[in-house]
Every structure is written in C-alpha cells, then in structure tokens.
Amino acid sequence: MNIILLQTDIQWQKPNENRTHAETIIDTLPQVDLVILPEMFTSGFCMTPSDIAEKADTDTLHWMQTIAEKKNVAIAGSVSVEDGGKYYNRFYFVKPDGSYATYNKKHLFTFSGEDKEYAAGDERVIVEYKGVRVLLQICYDLRFPVFSRNRGDYDMIIYVANWPTVRIDAWNTLLKARAIENLCYVAGVNRVGNDPGNSYNGGTVLLDYMGKTIVAAEDGLENAACGNIDIQILKDFREKFPALNDADKYRIIN
C-alpha cells in the first residue's frame, strides 16, 4: 500500500480555507492508496468547539468523500464535530467508494481542558482497506499503550496529531515504541506552524514493525511524505518472530 502523510500548517478556525489548502496539495500528489491529514485539520486543536464544530457527517466528511471518489484514494484525518448534543474529536477514514469509519478520541487531553469540552469515545476502531487492518488513534492516545495493544487484529496504527514542539521527543519515542511492541506499521501525522497556544514542527513519519523509518517529512515545513508498506513482509516477520503470541492476557474494564 502506498501512503502519503500530509504534514500541513493549519489556519486557526478557518475550515473552508484549510479544506481548500489541503485539496490544492492533494491535487499535486501522485496516485496513491491512502492520504493522511493531521488531527483537527480544518480548525487546529481548538478547545472551544461551539465556535468551530461541524454537524456530524456533513461538511468535511462530504468534502473527504468527494476527494476520495475523484482521486480514487482513501483519506483520513480528524475533525471537531457535534453529534447528539455532544462534541467529539472524530477521526474519519473515508474510502474511495464513499463508505467510511469513525473513531471518537478516547483519551482526552486534560492538560488543555479537552475533557471539559469534548466527550470521550469508548470504542476501539479498526478499519480494513486493501487487505490492511488499520487501528485509528488520535494524538494523546499515543501515551496509552494498553488501549492500542495489538490483539492480532491489526497491521498498522495511524496517529493523527497536533503535538507541540515542546514535547516532540515524546512523540518520536512513543511512535517507535508502539511499532515495536505491536509488531506493526505506524503512521504518525503531525502538523507544523503555530496556533494561539503552541508551535509545531511536525515529526511526521512512517515506521516499520521494528521501529525503523520508512519515510519522514522534513521538520518545520509543510510537505508530503510518500512511503510503502508491505503486508506480506509483515506477515512473514510475525511468523518468524511470533512475539504477539506471548503477550500478556488481560481485558480493559471501563
């Protein structure tokens, strides 16, 4: 599977401009299977969702479906949405035929007050696309390995993020840890630029199941990094090195 990780700057609370900007970049890209955008790519990491949240399954989702169909590509990223009177940081994974999966961020970033404005999801979401089973995760989820522990049910994790420069070493380290401990590919897509509270330098990367870099975006700049994952190579490695079979048995009690 060929994947583009789109490391963009995000204009603060300007969804139309951000969608247009992303589409302009996507139009210049080669044909691939999947394009991944950052967390809250239409607004930035905004803690006043009443100002920017979209109704569920409307503006940005329809835009993603249009892009997916036009380009024959899957497209992924998270958006602030209002659904049933609650706000969610919602990850959309949209396939070329317009079908889609959603994941509501489970681990809300209390340090910024996200837990006071958004409702937490409680479902672990895996989507299958072109023979690849993909676990959907958002930013702060990266710090909680139990929730994302591979039960033999996925091949790649996607983390979309607004992860600030001041904590970027944690981002770099934890992405590698998640790849190694779960014997899976990891795509981490972060933004660049500034919002009213933080600066961001990227760190967007695609890792293999040993934590080795397949491709990385250039830090501090908007750019698209294109890399390939091979599921057969992953399966062969898991058969030769069956560490997942030795994992501790447990269950999560909410």
Give me the active site residues, please. 39, 105, 139
Written as six digits, the tokens of 227 are 């890399």
Q: Is 177 helix (H, G, I), strand (E, B) or coil?
A: helix
Say if CB 164 and CB 200 are below 8 A apart: yes
Contacts of 31 (CB under 8 A, 6+ apart): 71, 72, 73
Question: Is residue 7 within 8 Å of 22, Cβ to Cβ?
Answer: no
- In one-letter notation, the amino acid at residue 78 is S
Other residues' Cβ atoms within 10 Å of the Cβ of residue 111: 9
Q: Are 183 and 209 in contact (CB under 8 A)?
A: yes
Length of the chain: 254
CA–CA separation, 99 and 57 (whole Å):
12
The SS3 call for residue 102 is strand
Chain centre distance of CA 253? 25
Rounded-to-integer distance, Cα 247 and Cα 150, Å: 9
